[in-house]
């Protein structure tokens, strides 16, 4: 079982050379350093930013108007490890139930076991 804690973060929107429009950037601090990374998330996506005990950062982007959920994972140095997107109704339900869970206490649990 993977336990994730909500972390402080900020976002900015900037133009990137060669891109049309603007992109969303996330800034957060790990024990190792502060880093800023471009996100695949849309400008109107709802973000949840969490960290595991090893220092990896998980960014969950949700946009139910457009029907997708994304999960990006960065190592403690800010290098992207994974970038996953879900758009099927059953996938959206699973992501919301398993990953989002109840965040009332700031702790989210991802149960990655095969039941």
Burial class (CB in 10 A: 0-12, 13-18, 19+), 61: buried
- CA 36 from centroid of its chain's CA atoms: 13
Q: Identify whether the C-beta of residue 93 lies closer than 8 Å to the C-beta of residue 64.
A: no
pLDDT digits (tens, 9 = 90+) for 39-52: 888 778 889 899 99
pLDDT confidence bin for 81, thresholds 50/70/90: very high
Residue with the bigger pLDDT between 17 and 9: it is: 9
The structural domains of the chain, with segments of one domain joined by +, span 2-108
Give the helix/strand (H/E) hosting 93: helix 89-94
Q: With bands split at pLDDT 50, 70 and 90, how would you rate the model's confidence at 74? A: very high
pLDDT of residue 106: 45
């Amino acid at each position: 079982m993977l336990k994730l804690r909500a972390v402080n973060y900020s976002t900015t929107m900037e133009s990137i050379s060669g891109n049309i429009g603007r992109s969303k950037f996330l800034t957060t601090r790990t024990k190792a350093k502060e880093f800023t990374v471009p996100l695949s998330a849309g400008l109107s996506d709802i973000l949840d930013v969490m960290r595991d005990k090893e220092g990896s950062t998980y960014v969950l982007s949700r946009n139910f108007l457009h029907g997708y959920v994304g999960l990006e994972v960065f190592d403690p140095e800010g290098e992207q490890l994974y970038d996953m997107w879900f758009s099927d109704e059953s996938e959206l339900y699973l992501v919301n139930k398993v990953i989002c869970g109840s965040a009332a206490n700031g702790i989210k649990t991802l149960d990655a076991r095969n039941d």
